[in-house]
Amino acid sequence: MATVPVFVGLDYHDQSVQVCVLDPQGVVLANRSVSNDVKEIVQVVASKDRRVFAAIEACNGSADLADKLIEIGWSVDLAHPGYVARIKQNPDKSDFADARLVGDLERVGYLPKVWLAPQALRELRRVVRYRQQLVNERRSRKQRISALLREQRVRSPEWMPWTIRWLDWLQKEAELSEQSRWLVQEHLDWLRQLSVKIAEVERRLRRMTAEDPLVDTLMKLKGIGLITAVTIRAEIGRFDRFRTGKQLARFCGLSPRNASSGQRQADAGLIKAGNPQLRMTLIEAAHRLKRFDPRWRQLAERMRQGGKAGSVIAAAVANRWVRWLHHPMQPLGAGGGQN
């Protein structure tokens, strides 16, 4: 008996999933809500003697569900929720209609897909992003101490802030009120704890990527350290899923946004796309590349002589570097996951 394909749209929620099943002609075979459980979802589809092509909008938890459905033999695609909403062109919203739309887009081949990263890579992303949360908290604590000094009009010595000498002055000599001094000490205690936690996370990241060839290759480049390498690995994943370096740079949010109209040609800053942490990490790397790598130092110098601002130069170096990186990195880190 020949296998009959069916197309399934899944509208995901924490407690439930709306399941819409379509035949190759687009006829709805089923469309109902079930508990967020793989067995109940499969029962709706009744997948015996059927090839199942499913689609689900990317959201928190959808990738884990997709993995479990792939394990039982389904073909599952993740859909870009923003593009699906644009395709919908309907002011009304219901789970019934959303599941049918996603299933129908999968059926006709118009589903706007996003990459389903393998589980190991998603785990790495969680740890990388946790480290960034700790770094953000550390920065916030330092800003609060600086705010306390400004509130009491305490002028710092002409020393580099947050050095051992500066911290010694802060704790022993800064003219603060009793309560402000207590608050400063509380923040300093938190900073010490955060430094310990950040170091612990970095050791874990080193262990997680000890045998990753892509991370190893990145760390051999001038100006690239562990955190930059693992962030690139976690957020980009596989370089071979991008056709060109230009496409990769746009994914990273390093391409200028075109704001041209008629005879007026203009840029409007970097596009607001991609992961902000990835873009920040790459621009920080560009500042180091300008110092350590002659190729990028020469590019930065030419732009500086052309009157470009430092921020523009850093973004341009990051853009060119990522586009250059696309080709040599393609053969690496291709194991696991889907294209």
Task: Name 205's Cβ contacts closer than 8 Å, sequence gap at least 6.
Answer: 124, 127, 128, 131, 226, 227, 230
Q: Which of 147, 167, 145 shows the shortest CA–CA distance to 157?
A: 167
pLDDT per position as a tens digit, 321-333: 999 999 889 877 5
Confidence of residue 57 (pLDDT cuts 50, 70, 90): very high
Q: Report how far apart, in Å, the C-alpha atoms of 265 and of each of 190, 253, 256, 257 are.
A: 50, 20, 12, 11
pLDDT per position as a tens digit, 216-274: 999 999 889 999 999 999 999 999 999 999 999 999 998 887 766 666 666 667 777 77
Assigned superfamily of 4-114 = ATPase, nucleotide binding domain (3.30.420.40)
Task: Name 271's Cβ contacts closer than 8 Å, sequence gap at least 6.
Answer: 250, 253, 255, 256, 257
Quote the pLDDT of residue 260: 66
pLDDT per position as a tens digit, 186-200: 999 999 999 999 999
Burial class of residue 284 (count of CB atoms within 10 Å of its CB; 0-12, 13-18, 19+): middle
H or E segment and range at residue 171: helix 164-172
Say if pTM beats, i.e. exceeds, 0.85: yes
Q: Given the structure tokens 């921020």, which residue do they identify?
A: 311
pLDDT per position as a tens digit, 86-123: 888 778 889 999 999 999 999 999 999 999 999 999 99
Pairing of strands 50-57, 28-35: unpaired
Judged by DSSP in three states, 19 sits in: strand
> Structural domain boundaries of the chain?
4-114, 119-208, 213-329
